[in-house]
Chain A
């Protein structure tokens, strides 16, 4: 039951070995590989084998096209780089010459041989084996046709932070409809909480609010705040999305946003979200005055009427009769062709870093708390004061990398906290004149105008101490420490332990994936890295696409980043979506799994496994079927089906086994008998 080439007529195979400059040729004797292929693999159908400096160049591609036409090639194997990079290039070349593009196989002798070896001879032999595997495999390829599906012109954007706002506006401005779904009562995301933004220190509200207003008034945008996606069905071009629009208890068509209800509502609630726990709001509220939309929501668990049955103050005083205590959650069904996820980040819960004392020592603040303190529209009207609400600090310690670059919390760098900490230093100096210490491990100010800002803050007199802070404590030991917070740190430049007493500590805590990022990702059929950030299709070449066709990602949902990069990603993702919409239909890779019904026993083992919900079960006939438009060819079900009833195009058992035999050079008779090991 082995997968020997059972084809009666031999294929006519062309082999092309690429030098990739010196990338491959530096370690592999490419001429030798090509000669060997011509000589030894001709028994397997290789009629021509060439080597060339850059196969992906137009001249390289023309070489293939010419051979297909003149030598009547029926299969092509290119030994070059990874299929991720140039599979498409060579497939298209084949198509131009009239050969079905799926009869081309790209084997990687760069990533898998030249780049990972130094022994030239061994690498050359390995390249031959890899090539032989590709030749055996390509024999079993079938001509395939891509699947064409129409693209619905509307787009769903999830998350109304700056990244989502940018994406929504770009698409809407291009004339296509956008549904923007935001979980909170207002769009704006984290940026709406800030006073100033680095490095230019322009006012966050001044640049953000106009964008928010555009979203709220755009004829092509349906804004759904206080809403969440609860179900996603379908596939690229044709998603059906169910959104739960939570009851606001305010009729949007009547509310004028006058704010009387908020003013008159007797119930004060600590605002843990927007004010980061430093300020209060009412039970009926908009998170901030410039909120978009302007309609408030009633926070049911905190509303006196809902809890005790009396009050109705807002209802009585609303001049337009907009309050409606009987409103119910609403389920909306949306049809969209593409989806952009811009769900942003959470900050690390500072209590987890026990040695820094947050939650235990009153005057230790988180970065978001500091943003609210320094915000002119915040709870202290921009006064930077201690927890008592009045005392100005004389010394402030700002701790960088709190929970980032730390094996106990997050290995990654949160990318923005150096700049954010320097911004804080600047604001403290500017507003209070207090002495500021910044405790850093390395300073990372790589983007445009960032290092200049760093220099400016140094000139302003901030004191930078290099070293990871060991502890923040209120246990005084030395004179001058009484009533202070003492920062214990090894100053690695001075080479000594230091204890620095301060009045206020600000923790630049790590940016972390949203607490529910994994569930949200699963809902949209995409995956998160082990850190929890959404994984992009390619970290360099495809940073806003995901592995699921039609689902894109932008902003901090993909990883920590600053506002300019979040905006750039929002725009980039919308460009990808617009390109899709313009094409009107999309060709799907025909790499798909399918079920042989005569073999399927209806055991249902595969039924719950598909990450893309492509598998359906026919109860009546007790067989399983795969929706080819949904299947992404991941192979999960193929591996799981114990009956061997599922096979995947391009990755059939036959193809994989033939490739293995090729790798072992078995079809050449190089090994007499398979030696069982």
Chain B
């Protein structure tokens, strides 16, 4: 605890879009509770602190750290280790920290391909094909920027994590509830769930919260929602052939997307006890295809043009495969090189 007796709060933004930071601010007046109950000791987006300030803190002195974003580079990794050491409760906050999130989809490619897309595409004006370098010499001396890793990892693939809070971003009401719970627990009025738990989410899947009517599903043709002239407002989207990820995605969001006529894209991650989100979803999507002949089945599934993007949009880094073979090979090389140093 800090000098004023308040528990200490930290939040950190690794490889993610920043939406999680906004989501925390979006809890409206509850943010005042955070301020009233915690001393914010580290939150680069909100308060001016330096890494060295954190390094100077005693180990275990931060009560609660919300860590959002995946581990994409050496800086993310360093901060993951640092904050783990300094925190009592480390929460993987949001889809990227839990599952790798959208940036994790780059695990299908090598860093070279990622850089090419970022620095050499038609929309980029980069005539000399300049690429970021982790070490650069300038007259003033040697400059270092963080090293980009071939494989993006989830937070718990790098350090032990106490709780997982899914969502892209986590829904504000869920954040508020979690904040409440932690405050209550610190005051001895409530108990925290067992370590390793998923918090701020449900125990079933999105369909559980979805009001759309469903019959026994049989799909002759999957279709992208934007290709349909009309979407029935009350019937299950999947039954209309729209590949809705709701059946495989943990509930807790309140089925926001299907309620407004957009298919669930899976940001709340896998259901409890699911080892590989994409594998589960894919076997479900395939199970309901109405067809016996291989051609009929292919035809139905042809409506899902990017299967990996469909079923692993947020969870590739946390899947059984994790990344492409090429990406893993490069990742191993880096580790071996580090060993020899």
A residues sitting closer than 8 Å to B (CB atoms) are 1, 598-609, 617, 622, 636, 639-645, 653, 657, 676-677
CB-based contact A644/B322 at 8 Å: no
Chain A CB within 10 Å, residue with most, of B218, B248, B281, B287: B287
Residues of B within 8 A of A643 (CB): 204-205, 207, 247-248, 271, 274
CB-based contact B214/A602 at 8 Å: yes
CB-based contact B218/A640 at 8 Å: no
Give bound CA distance, A607 to B272, whole Å: 21
CB-based contact B280/A605 at 8 Å: no
CB-based contact A639/B214 at 8 Å: no
Residues of B within 8 A of A622 (CB): 208
Would you give the shortest CB distance from A111 to chain B, in whole angstroms? 27
CB-based contact A639/B283 at 8 Å: yes
CB-based contact B217/A604 at 8 Å: yes
The contact of A605 among B203, B217, B270, by CB within 8 Å, is B217
The contact of A603 among B205, B321, B328, by CB within 8 Å, is B205
Residues of B within 8 A of A600 (CB): 204, 208
Residues of A within 8 A of B204 (CB): 598-601, 643, 645
Which residue of chain B lies nearest to A622 when distances are taken between CB atoms in the complex? B208
Residues of B within 8 A of A599 (CB): 203-205, 271-273
CB-based contact A603/B214 at 8 Å: yes
Determine whether B158 belongs to the interface, using a CB cutoff of 8 Å to chain A.
no
| A-contact bits for B99-117, CB 8 A (1 contact / 0 none) | 0000000000000000000
CB-based contact A657/B205 at 8 Å: no
CB-based contact B288/A605 at 8 Å: yes
Would you give the shortest CB distance from A527 to chain B, in whole angstroms? 13
Would you give the shortest CB distance from A599 to chain B, in whole angstroms? 5
Give bound CA distance, A354 to B323, whole Å: 55
| A-contact bits for B43-76, CB 8 A (1 contact / 0 none) | 0000000000000000000000000000000000
Chain B CB within 10 Å, residue with most, of A598, A601, A636: A601
B residues sitting closer than 8 Å to A (CB atoms) are 203-208, 214-218, 236, 238, 246-248, 251, 270-275, 280-281, 283-284, 287-288, 321-323, 325, 328
Cβ contacts A to B, 8 pairs, < 8 Å: A599-B203, A601-B207, A602-B214, A603-B217, A605-B238, A606-B287, A609-B288, A653-B273
CB-based contact B203/A598 at 8 Å: yes
The contact of A642 among B236, B251, B281, B323, by CB within 8 Å, is B281
Grouping DSSP codes into helix (H, G, I), strand (E, B) and loop, the A interface class, with mixed when no group exceeds half, is loop
The contact of B251 among A601, A605, A609, A653, by CB within 8 Å, is A601
CB-based contact B207/A603 at 8 Å: yes
Since A602-B207, A605-B287 are in contact, a sample of 16 more A-B pairs with Cβ atoms closer than 8 Å, ordered by chain A residue number, is A599-B203, A599-B205, A599-B273, A601-B208, A601-B246, A604-B215, A605-B247, A608-B216, A639-B287, A641-B280, A642-B248, A642-B280, A643-B271, A643-B274, A644-B273, A677-B325
CB-based contact A642/B321 at 8 Å: no
Residues of B within 8 A of A601 (CB): 204-208, 246-247, 251
CB-based contact B275/A642 at 8 Å: no
Would you give the shortest CB distance from A652 to chain B, in whole angstroms? 10
Residues of A within 8 A of B281 (CB): 642
Give bound CA distance, A338 to B246, whole Å: 41
CB-based contact B284/A605 at 8 Å: yes
Contact (A608, B218) CB under 8 Å given A642-B280, A676-B322: yes
Which residue of chain A lies nearest to B323 when distances are taken between CB atoms in the complex? A676
Residues of A within 8 A of B216 (CB): 604, 607-608, 617
CB-based contact B283/A657 at 8 Å: no
Give bound CA distance, A599 to B273, whole Å: 10
The contact of B247 among A608, A609, A642, by CB within 8 Å, is A642
Residues of B within 8 A of A603 (CB): 205, 207, 214, 217, 238, 246-247, 284
Give bound CA distance, A622 to B212, whole Å: 12
Which residue of chain B lies nearest to A600 when distances are taken between CB atoms in the complex? B204
The contact of B328 among A636, A640, A677, by CB within 8 Å, is A677
Which residue of chain B lies nearest to A609 when distances are taken between CB atoms in the complex? B287
Would you give the shortest CB distance from A405 to chain B, in whole angstroms? 26
Would you give the shortest CB distance from A133 to chain B, in whole angstroms? 17
Give bound CA distance, A54 to B328, whole Å: 47
Which residue of chain B lies nearest to A647 when distances are taken between CB atoms in the complex? B273
Residues of A within 8 A of B218 (CB): 608
Closest A-B pairs by Cβ, 7 of them = A642-B248, A642-B284, A601-B208, A601-B207, A640-B287, A603-B247, A603-B207
Give bound CA distance, A1 to B276, whole Å: 10
Would you give the shortest CB distance from B269 to chain A, in whole angstroms? 12
The contact of B284 among A641, A657, A676, by CB within 8 Å, is A641
Contact (A1, B275) CB under 8 Å given A608-B217, A608-B288, A639-B283: yes
Which residue of chain B lies nearest to A2 when distances are taken between CB atoms in the complex? B275
Residues of A within 8 A of B203 (CB): 598-599
Contact (A607, B217) CB under 8 Å given A599-B204, A602-B207, A657-B275: yes
Give bound CA distance, A338 to B299, whole Å: 41
Which residue of chain A lies nearest to B214 when distances are taken between CB atoms in the complex? A604
Give bound CA distance, A653 to B322, whole Å: 20
Residues of B within 8 A of A608 (CB): 216-218, 288
CB-based contact A644/B207 at 8 Å: no
Residues of B within 8 A of A636 (CB): 287
Give bound CA distance, A603 to B271, whole Å: 13
Give bound CA distance, A644 to B321, whole Å: 19
Would you give the shortest CB distance from A33 to chain B, in whole angstroms? 30
Give bound CA distance, A603 to B218, whole Å: 12
Give bound CA distance, A161 to B218, whole Å: 38
Would you give the shortest CB distance from B272 to chain A, in whole angstroms? 6
Give bound CA distance, A605 to B218, whole Å: 9
Give bound CA distance, A645 to B280, whole Å: 11
Which residue of chain A lies nearest to B328 when distances are taken between CB atoms in the complex? A676
CB-based contact B272/A644 at 8 Å: yes
CB-based contact A644/B274 at 8 Å: yes
Residues of B within 8 A of A606 (CB): 287
Residues of A within 8 A of B236 (CB): 604
Give bound CA distance, A154 to B218, whole Å: 37
Chain A CB within 10 Å, residue with most, of B206, B236, B271, B328: B271
Which residue of chain A lies nearest to B244 when distances are taken between CB atoms in the complex? A603
Give bound CA distance, A608 to B216, whole Å: 6
Chain B CB within 10 Å, residue with most, of A608, A617, A653, A657: A608
Give bound CA distance, A538 to B272, whole Å: 38
Would you give the shortest CB distance from B187 to chain A, in whole angstroms? 29
Which residue of chain B lies nearest to A605 when distances are taken between CB atoms in the complex? B284
Residues of B within 8 A of A641 (CB): 280, 284
Would you give the shortest CB distance from B181 to chain A, in whole angstroms? 20
Give bound CA distance, A177 to B273, whole Å: 50
Give bound CA distance, A389 to B251, whole Å: 78
Give bound CA distance, A604 to B237, whole Å: 13
Which residue of chain A lies nearest to B275 when distances are taken between CB atoms in the complex? A1
